[in-house]
Amino acid sequence: MEEVLALIEEKKHEFAQGPFMKFLQDKSIDPRQRLAWGPAFAPFAMSFKDFNKNVLRKEPSDSKLQEMINQHSYEDGRHWIWFLQDMKIMGYDNPMNYTDMLKFLWGEETQKVRKMAYDLFAICTFEEDILMKLVVIESIEATGNVALFEIAKVAKELQQITKQCHPYFGESHYAKESGHIQASMDDVEDYLKSIQLTKPQKKKAFTLVEKVFADFTEAMDEMLVFAQKHPYDLPFTTTRNINQSRTAA
């Protein structure tokens, strides 16, 4: 597993250099605009609840690793509640036609975000090798760790405007995303490194790491395009260039 973790680390650094991260770091853009992709991220944020509960979790657990995955699933599987709170705080809880909302959530502009969720379900639902699920979790956690680190910095700026804590975008969420599976164990990383993989397992694991990172990269690139086209106060209806919103209020 050590080589797989090394690949994840490499992909993590690559992911951290992407255009989405640069956008989050650009202080010339209003923090609300830098997080204007939030509503479009809903298909993933909400599906993640089911992914943790129905795909990753297995009760009662039949191994130490499944027990760790279960613990992880209870933690990560409840973060959607924070997402809803943030959407409310950010003013996206306005009444909207049900059918318009459905069109938005399953629309053209959230395709990659949905695909990212679908692929995770596709990879893990019928996967019988728990180590492959672990590889997927480790890859997801690496992307989450990098993205939430940058997002939390934007949320700090946002807090100056909203005067409220942002449970999903803020530091408290980042604090929960250590970059590794969230299980009550002191030496998680050492334990993971000590796991031996066969050659075929290693080969499959490398493919899965590449796949998860490719999906997250495409999804976050899609979110960047969304934030560039939708003013933060009109995310559902208007698609146009938002150069006028580039300066902080």
**Which of 51, 226 has the CB closer to Fe ion?**
51
Q: What is the C-alpha end-to-end distance of the chain, expressed in Å?
A: 48
Rank residues 79 and 114 by Cβ distance to Fe ion and give the closer one.
Answer: 79
> Is 166 an interacting residue with respect to Fe ion (CB under 5 A)?
no
What is the CB neighbour count within 10 angstroms for residue 54?
Answer: 14
Report the C-alpha gap between 78 and 99 in whole angstroms. Answer: 27
Least spacing, CB of residue 201 vs Fe ion, in Å: 27
Q: Which is nearer to Fe ion, 79 or 204 (CB)?
A: 79
Q: Closest CB to Fe ion among 143 and 245?
A: 143
Cβ contact 31:25 at 8 Å? no
Q: Mapped to the 3 state alphabet, what secondary structure does 56-78 carry?
A: HCCCCCCCHHHHHHHHHHHHHCC
Mask: binding to Fe ion, 68-87, rule CB under 5 A, as x and -? -----------x--------
Site for Fe ion in 169-208 (CB under 5 A): none
Least separation, in Å, of the C-beta of 79 and Fe ion?
Answer: 4
**Ranges of H-type helices in the chain:** 2-16, 19-25, 31-34, 42-50, 64-76, 80-89, 98-105, 111-124, 130-162, 171-176, 188-194, 199-229
Closest CB to Fe ion: residue number: 79
Least CB distance to Fe ion at residue 25 (A): 21
Q: Whose Cβ is closer to Fe ion: residue 30's or residue 138's? A: 138
Contact by Cβ (8 Å): 34, 227: yes
Cβ at position 45, least distance to Fe ion in Å:
9
# binding residues, Fe ion (CB under 5 A): 1
Nearer to Fe ion, 34 or 79 (CB): 79
Mask of contacts with Fe ion, 36-75, x by CB under 5 A? Answer: ----------------------------------------
CA 31 to CA 5: how far, in whole Å? 33
Residues at the interface with Fe ion (CB under 5 A): 79
